[in-house]
């Protein structure tokens, strides 16, 4: 006799309509900076300076709990691509190696990891990935993953430029 943890598909019909279905999209991005890992992490973890890196912030970043501690919430408003409130819960933080959070915004849920790895040629490789689920389209008919990838690329490009600038002064 065998037991299944879930009933056969025929016994549990999918009652969601096509408009309710969502898929998980994975977005990956990596950049390199001349800054060593510890400096890159120090600059990244200075959340008060994030608004200098992008024009998407519409309010100061607020924390509920200790910044970067697992279980703490990072909240702020964005002004583009839509006005919305970001609500992030830190799940893992291991400086200067990585940080991860679950993000809720505008009907989407995202898990994001940011990893800092020493690069063999000097400097740091910063990689990030996001798994995104929620509604399929954003304003202007673009897929949410396209919009998120564009925001991610711009933010991390600006962040690396800041890291390189600070590393060049050392």
pLDDT-derived band at 81, boundaries 50, 70, 90:
confident
Whole-angstrom CA distances from 86 to 60, 78, 119 are 11, 7, 32
Q: What is the mean pLDDT of the chain?
A: 86
Q: What is the CATH number of domain 23-168?
A: 3.30.530.20
The per-residue pLDDT for range 87-120, each reduced to its tens digit, is: 999 999 999 999 999 999 888 899 999 999 998 8
pLDDT-derived band at 145, boundaries 50, 70, 90:
confident
Domain ranges within the chain, ordered by starting residue: 23-168
The per-residue pLDDT for range 147-168, each reduced to its tens digit, is: 889 889 999 999 999 999 999 9
pLDDT at 137 over 70: no
Could you tell me the two tokens for 24?
A: 């998980």
Residue 170 is predicted with a pLDDT of 76
Q: How far apart are CA 64 and CA 44, in angstroms?
A: 19
In DSSP terms, 108 is beta-bridged to 105, 134
């Amino acid at each position: 006799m065998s037991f299944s943890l879930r009933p056969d598909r025929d016994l549990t019909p999918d009652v969601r309509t096509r408009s309710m279905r969502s898929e998980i999209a994975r977005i990956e991005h990596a950049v390199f900076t001349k800054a060593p890992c510890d400096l890159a992490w120090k600059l990244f973890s200075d959340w008060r300076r994030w608004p200098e890196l992008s024009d998407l912030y519409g309010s100061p970043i607020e924390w509920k709990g200790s910044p970067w501690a697992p279980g703490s919430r990072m909240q702020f408003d964005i002004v583009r691509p839509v006005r919305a409130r970001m609500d992030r819960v830190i799940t893992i933080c291991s400086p200067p190696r990585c940080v991860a959070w679950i993000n809720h915004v505008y009907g989407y849920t995202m898990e994001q990891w940011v990893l800092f790895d020493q690069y063999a040629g000097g400097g740091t490789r910063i990689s990030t990935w996001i798994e995104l689920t929620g509604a399929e389209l954003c304003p202007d008919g673009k897929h949410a993953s396209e919009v998120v990838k564009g925001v991610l690329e711009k933010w991390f490009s600006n962040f690396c430029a800041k890291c390189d600038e600070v590393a060049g002064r050392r």
